[in-house]
Structure 1
Amino acid sequence: MSHVNSVKFSPDGLWIASAGLEGSILIWDIRKSKQIMEFIADPPVTAITCVQFHPFEFLLAAGRVDGTVSIYDLEHQQLVSQTTHFYGQAIRCITFSDNGECLFVGSSSGISVIGWEPDRELDHIKSTWSSLADMKVVNNKLVS
């Protein structure tokens, strides 16, 4: 990976996910000090801007510069859901709700709340924020 855009620890602190400019996500096992998984965006030249582990399940969300949000199943090492609600708007940051039932997605148009089973947009907060870099849900409140 030539350029890393995002790094996140798994909730149990045993894995690290890194997202790269060239469109790959690498999962590392800290105990073994080695890479254990790799996911490549399709098309592979699409930069992945952010990643986030699900708080309870073996899922990983990834946002891309082309506006795609992908959900990967880490147990079966496969893509399970993908949304293009944000096509043309770079995804800047993503985070799961405390209970893991929805995903907050930060883009140039604001923050959207999406569900992935089935794929749908639940809510959208319009904004002209040009530099939203990260956000987190704490005690059911969104902090950005």
Structure 2
Amino acid sequence: MSPASSNLTPQSDTPLHTVLVVEDEVLVRMVIADYLRECGYRVYETVNASEALAVLQSPEVSIDIVFSDVQTPGDMDGFRLARWVRANKPGVQVVLTSGVERSAEIASTLCEAGPLLKKPYPPQDVVDRIRQLVAKAKRS
């Protein structure tokens, strides 16, 4: 899917930062993406890690934060996506989320702000985590 697709169009005029939401459950993705937009973020949405890679590799798009479910359909899960981001996009922060509790230990090694957010999560927790990442990046 190309960044020009309708579900990848940024919605905010003056974004704080750009967040890539990777979530295959459409209602979950819509709720968090809409909430992030309301909070002033530019948001791109993808269904899986393959689509996320296309956005991350697009020269027209600059992503600050990847917010991804651990379990995504396709060849690459959220952990592999996070590893790819760390290896290829060092300035991009990663937040992982999962409904599977054992995922937290693995996520703690891949996410700059510690373990993942457990599903179901309140949307404000996502914004708080993003703010932590931004503040930490500014101090570095």
Give the TM-score normalised by the residue count of structure 2.
0.30
Q: Which structure shows the higher strand fraction?
A: 1
Q: Which has the larger radius of gyration?
A: 1
Give the TM-score normalised by the residue count of structure 1.
0.30
